[in-house]
Structure 1
Amino acid sequence: IALESRGDDLLFFSKLEENIKLSIDAMNYGKEKIKERVSRGALPFLSLEVDDENYYCVDCGYGRIGFIGLFEATKIHTNKDLYQEKEALTFSKKIIEKSLEFLKDYPKIKITEISSEDPSRRLFIADGIRYGFRTIEERIGKKISKYSLNTILPYDISIPLNRRIEIEGMFHKKMLGGHCLNIPLIEPIPPKDVFYRYIKEIICNNKVAAFTFSFDFTYCRKCGILMHGRHERCDYCGRALTVLEYYSKNLNTYVASNEKRNVKGYLL
């Protein structure tokens, strides 16, 4: 949307409304297809009756519309970083506020910033083919391989943790379909009392609605050792990349990830 609108606010929000309506149509189409299959008995689990009521009521289901690349869209449209410039932060919040406005007649459809699926690279490649990869990277100001996902601020940005929490919290209040701040840590691992104080501070100050801490891990298949951080060689047997597996947290689940990462971790 940002690439297509070329800095025109009216065009940007017109395209945003168009895409949200398309998402609503897609969800309604899916709902009708589920109803059709339930009526034919093609989905026996959803057709169950419990205490003389349908186990699953299709019309009571909620829908979610997710955002990918909010940071990049803001940068492309305003030519400013949302964590550095008030104008950019205001624009990014306006994107969410306008989206909620477009959804005011659909109370069961919520906005989310998180997804267990990862379409960020697929969408980046699609844009790259259409607009040019170099054009996108020049507009963003850095080389990327995919758009930001499950976060407002990409994790390769060097920014004080309190500022990251502050910005993420601004959006958590609006994204009622799902949100979670991941706080990547670096060694040494803080003692329990430090964790407790920091968690208490975040909760008592009501800064973010949901958050988690994480370490990246390296696993050596040869000697069965798990190491904190990303290592090019096993600390124990000395073997290199061919026997190493890397694990990173995606939401609240650790998944294998051999993709090169430039995460700026925090020391509590």
Structure 2
Amino acid sequence: VATFDSDSHFEDKLNFKDGKHFSMGSWQVVSLNCPRAAYLARGDDELLFEYLRELMDTSVEIFKVKREWMNQIIRNHRMPFATQQPRDPITGEKGSVAVGLEGLVYTIGVVGVNEMVQFHTGKQMHESREAWKLAVRAMTEMEIYAKKLSQQHGMTIALARTPAETTAQRFAVSDLIHEEFRECAERVVKGDLSAVKKNVHKTRDLPVYYTNGTHLPPAADVTIFERAKHEHVFFPIVDGGNIFHIFMGEATPDPQGLMDFGMRLARETQIGYFTFSKDMTVCLGCSQVSGGLEDRCPNCGSEDVDHISRITGYLQAVSGWNSAKRQELKDRKRYNELA
């Protein structure tokens, strides 16, 4: 995170003085299969944290390879666009490098924190305060260790919630087909396990997943305020990437109600980034767009429709999603009342 204290050019970048600017992003992102750490720990808290640290150590080895490779790329001038220095149109002098590569970080993401504590304690985060506290402690331990690794290896390492659009499915499927972890995963994985048993020998695109990041599971039957209460604590722990989802049940939500609720979240919680998401049905015949997930167009009756909804941080046609994300779409708890 750039601040006045950590970046001597912070104000210049803020005002684009002499072409200076912030460059945000990661050299490399590695997401961790947190439930597998719990499977190995078998209920031992300290062993759980140790396995998580080992996963982070492995991530650093990957980062080192990426750093060396990218240094070679830069030395050999094979990134001409990113390393160009545009000339000032008036003076002709070269300006700042187009992309401030020194501002890029190495990111460690987490997947399945809810399933990790579910296996470890027998309860999900919203079902037990002890389970939730374990998740908070685990993330805090990892954030502290990320800072230690940053100093030790001379690279900025960020702990974040990564989008993991396909990774949440891939980790779940990998554990379900792994002889050592299959029985463990079957106890906590989300989605349609019966479909896995029928189709596991035909495809790996199966409707099962681990919960993304530090979120409560999509189907958790809690009020929106309870969801916020559980999830907001993780925002100051991670260095970025976190998001709070509010999936709307109404086809036409009240604008003032949304505004009031958004202001309440901003004032009363530590949530720094939240979204109101509304499902939509698009008719590919008459182009009518309607609220909700409909099987046929309410305007012309055509069944040639597609759906649009949020996948992690952005809206996308559901037809392009894998089966795990489509299952998650079905599982999501939607809210009609925000007051």
TM-score with structure 1 length normalisation? Answer: 0.90
Aligned mates of 1:5, 1:151 — CA distance in 2: 19
Aligned counterpart, 1:35: 71
2:123 to 68, 80, 83: 80
Mapped pair 1:64 → 2:133 = no
Distance 1:65 1:79, change over 3 A: same
Gaps of 5+ in 1: none
Distance 1:132 1:63, change over 3 A: closer
Distance apart, 1:83 and its partner CA: 1.1
Aligned counterpart, 1:21: 57
Contact kept? 2:106, 2:158, Cα under 8 Å: yes
Alignment of 1:1-268 (within 5 A): 1-49=37-85, 51=94, 54-105=97-148, 106=150, 108-115=156-163, 117-130=165-178, 131=180, 133=182, 135-139=184-188, 143=192, 145-149=208-212, 152-240=215-303, 243-258=304-319, 259-260=326-327, 261-267=330-336, 268=338
Gaps of 5+ in 2: 1-36, 87-93, 194-207, 320-325
Query: Which protein is bigger by CA-based radius of gyration?
Result: 2
Aligned mates of 2:171, 2:300 — CA distance in 1: 40
Distance apart, 1:239 and its partner CA: 3.1
The 3-state SS of whatever aligns with 1:104 is helix
Distance 1:188 1:221, change over 3 A: closer
- Taking only aligned residues, the RMSD between alpha carbons, in angstroms, comes to 2.2
Contact kept? 1:76, 1:140, Cα under 8 Å: no
Distance apart, 1:221 and its partner CA: 0.9
Distance 1:198 1:85, change over 3 A: same
Letter in 1 for 2:216: L
The 3-state SS of whatever aligns with 2:159 is strand
Distance 1:48 1:195, change over 3 A: same
Distance apart, 1:143 and its partner CA: 4.3
Distance 1:252 1:109, change over 3 A: same
Aligned mates of 1:249, 1:212 — CA distance in 2: 9
Aligned mates of 1:264, 1:158 — CA distance in 2: 7
Aligned counterpart, 2:23: none
Q: How many residues align?
A: 266
Distance apart, 1:169 and its partner CA: 0.6
Contact kept? 1:114, 1:151, Cα under 8 Å: no
Letter in 1 for 2:259: Y
Instruction: Tell me whether 83-92 or 182-191 shows the greater mean CA deviation.
Output: 182-191
Instruction: Tell me whether 155-164 or 138-147 shows the greater mean CA deviation.
Output: 138-147
Distance apart, 1:136 and its partner CA: 1.7
Of all paired residues, the percent bearing the same amino acid is: 22
Distance 1:222 1:232, change over 3 A: same
Distance apart, 1:184 and its partner CA: 0.3
Instruction: Tell me whether 254-263 or 134-143 shows the greater mean CA deviation.
Output: 134-143
Distance apart, 1:252 and its partner CA: 3.7
TM-score with structure 2 length normalisation? Answer: 0.72
Contact kept? 1:114, 1:180, Cα under 8 Å: no
Aligned mates of 1:179, 1:53 — CA distance in 2: 31
Aligned mates of 2:316, 2:277 — CA distance in 1: 12
Distance apart, 1:94 and its partner CA: 1.2
